[in-house]
């Protein structure tokens, strides 16, 4: 447990930013994507719906998943999957490959969203609300910054594929960063009941 801000906090903040990037990059780039890989309105509209559905499924499954690995490992795995999904999408030349990349984004985003808040609670079991509020602030920060940055890049005629690759590099960096950090919690990392999980989520 930690009583002050540490590199673990920085890791949780970067994880939230990566999750926000995975949420906003598709809507921002979608007009250019539809031109590039020739998908219709129905197919393009289903992409973000599918990603959100996968995130929801992972959130539901997270109660059982936590029994196999600790929260930090799941967050790192989520960041790696987001990076892989972004890289894969940047090379997609048809709808099938692109939807597979969205599947990776959804799984990675679900793992990130499910375990970041519980991880912050493990880092700061005292004064939890303060640190949860601080960590969660980085999601809207990421949304705003990523939307403006990606929009500016597209305005300057940077290909959406390069935008995805830039985002993938950042996501991969965040994944490696959290993977390298050491954390031993005094709390039982393998026990996460439905009641205390919902309490953590609602407090964030």
Percent pLDDT > 90 in the chain is 60
What pLDDT score does 23 carry? 93
Task: Write the pLDDT tens digit of every residue in 88-133.
Answer: 999 998 899 999 999 999 999 999 999 999 899 888 888 788 899 9
Both structure tokens of 16: 């939230």
Percent of the residues in the chain that have a pLDDT greater than 70, as a whole number? 87
**CA 33, CA 26: separation in Å to the nearest integer?**
9
pTM across the whole model: 0.86
pLDDT tens string 10-30: 999 999 999 999 999 999 999
Residue 43, both tokens: 């197919």
* Res. 55: pLDDT tops 90: yes
Give the span between the Cα atoms of 202 and 184, in whole angstroms.
25
The number of C-alpha atoms within 13 Å of 143 and in the hemisphere containing its C-beta is 7
């Amino acid at each position: 447990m930690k009583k002050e801000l540490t590199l673990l906090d920085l890791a949780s903040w970067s994880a939230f930013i990566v999750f926000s990037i995975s949420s906003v990059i598709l809507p921002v780039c979608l007009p250019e994507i539809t031109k590039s890989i020739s998908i219709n309105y129905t197919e393009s509209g289903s992409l973000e719906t599918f990603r959100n559905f996968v995130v929801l499924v992972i959130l539901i499954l997270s109660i059982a998943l936590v029994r196999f690995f600790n929260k930090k490992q799941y967050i790192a795995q989520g960041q790696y999957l987001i990076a892989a999904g972004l890289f894969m999408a940047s090379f997609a030349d048809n709808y099938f490959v692109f939807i597979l990349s969205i599947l990776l984004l959804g799984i990675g985003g679900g793992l990130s969203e499910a375990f970041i808040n519980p991880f912050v609670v493990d880092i700061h079991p005292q004064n939890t609300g303060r640190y949860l509020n601080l960590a969660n602030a980085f999601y809207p920060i990421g949304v705003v910054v990523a939307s403006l940055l990606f929009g500016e890049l597209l305005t300057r005629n940077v290909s959406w594929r390069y935008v995805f690759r830039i985002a993938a590099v950042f996501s991969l960096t965040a994944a490696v960063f959290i993977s390298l950090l050491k954390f031993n919690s005094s709390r039982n990392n393998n026990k996460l009941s439905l009641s205390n999980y919902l309490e953590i989520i609602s407090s964030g």
